[in-house]
Amino acid sequence: MNRYKDEFVSLASHELRTPLTTVKAYLQLLERAYANEEVGLNFTKKAIEGVYRLERLINDLLDISKIKIGQLDYNMAPIKSAEIIKNSVENLKYYSDTHEIIIKELADVTLMGDSVRLEQVLNNFLSNAIKYSPDANRVELDARQEGNNLIVSVQDFGIGIPEESIEHLVERYYRADNGAEVSSGLGIGLYLSQQILTEHKGKLLIESHINQGSTFQFVLPVYKS
Ligand code: ADP
């Protein structure tokens, strides 16, 4: 029975994606058409933000059903870290314009990995950093090489996470009490991130202080400096 449920979720999310892609494309055209009209442009931007959130939720649902039926596949190839980071930061502009993302250091090493999946991890870190720091206006990103590892950190100045919750964050569907108050979500993003990083022989590290903020890090082996 569960398998049918997972296959249904997989099929349904896949079908939902097609009309959403059309809506997104037309909204992007509208954004251009309204370039010189403030009110129209603002409304369109809000609609685009909503569509991006919806798209991410649908993709996460699709991924989680794929993991359950053992179908999440990876296209491993040599990839440059700076490109992944720049793409994610660029993508975030559509998600929200309330925070500035400050890149402190941008190490550019070659990794062996799936660029789409690694961008997904970084998108998740960045969008959470924004989502869970509603009163802040910046997020800091730092990518540096240490020995044979690339360490990418995303630091926010937000609500923080209760200490006892930290170890549970990567569990499927887990949401800490702090998060539920601030924003809606399914509690899937970090679970997927952890799965993706494990597949890349990497690690996910979390440090956080209540009302001060959180730092999410991933550590990945460098393929070539
Ligand atoms: P979602 O954001 O949809 O709940 P995630 O798996 O991405 O799912 O995150 C799981 C939980 O981890 C969140 O519900 C929240 O409680 C906590 N969390 C994640 N990132 C942050 C952050 N930057 N600051 C505070 N809490 C966070």
Residue 41 contacts residue 61 (beta carbons within 8 Å): no
Task: Tell me which of 190, 196, 206, 211 to substitute to probe ligand 1's pocket, judged by most ligand atoms within 8 Å of the beta carbon.
Answer: 190
Task: Tell me which of 59, 161, 173, 204 to substitute to probe ligand 1's pocket, judged by most ligand atoms within 8 Å of the beta carbon.
Answer: 161
Cα of 44 from ligand 1 centre, angstroms: 27
pLDDT cut 70: percent of the chain above it:
98
Distance CA 190, CA 188 (A): 6
31-83, pLDDT tens digit by residue? Answer: 999 999 999 999 999 999 899 889 988 988 888 888 876 778 899 999 999 99
Closest approach atom of ligand 1 to CA 180: 14
Give the per-residue pLDDT at 197: 96
More confident residue, 6 or 81: 81
pLDDT tier at 18 (50, 70, 90 boundaries)?
confident
Burial class (CB in 10 A: 0-12, 13-18, 19+), 41: middle
Scanning the chain, the segments in alpha helix (DSSP H) are: 2-33, 38-68, 81-95, 115-131, 163-166, 177-182, 189-199
In the beta sheet, which residues pair with residue 150? 145, 220
Residue 78 contacts residue 111 (beta carbons within 8 Å): yes
More confident residue, 15 or 129: 129
Residue 156 contacts residue 132 (beta carbons within 8 Å): yes
Q: Compute φ and ψ for 79, nearest 5 degrees.
A: -135, 155
Cα of 186 from ligand 1 centre, angstroms: 9
Give the per-residue pLDDT at 1: 58
For the Cβ of 156 lying below 6 angstroms from any atom of ligand 1, the answer is yes
For the Cβ of 190 lying below 6 angstroms from any atom of ligand 1, the answer is yes
Task: Tell me which of 122, 124, 155, 175 to substitute to probe ligand 1's pocket, judged by most ligand atoms within 8 Å of the beta carbon.
Answer: 175
pTM above 0.85, yes or no: yes
Q: Indicate left, alpha or beta for 6 from its phi (over 0: left) and psi (-120 to 50: alpha).
A: alpha
For the Cβ of 188 lying below 6 angstroms from any atom of ligand 1, the answer is yes
Distance CA 12, CA 61 (A): 9
135-177, pLDDT tens digit by residue? Answer: 999 999 999 999 999 999 999 999 999 999 999 999 988 888 8
Q: What is the dihedral of CA 132, 68, 201, 106, to 10 degrees?
A: -30
For the Cβ of 176 lying below 6 angstroms from any atom of ligand 1, the answer is yes
In the beta sheet, which residues pair with residue 205? 217
Nearest CA to ligand 1 atom 8: 187
For the Cβ of 158 lying below 6 angstroms from any atom of ligand 1, the answer is yes
Q: What is the mean pLDDT of residues 206-210?
A: 96
Give the per-residue pLDDT at 157: 98
Q: Between helices 115-131 and 189-199, what is the axis angle to 10°?
A: 150
| Average pLDDT of the chain, as a whole number | 91
More confident residue, 79 or 2: 79
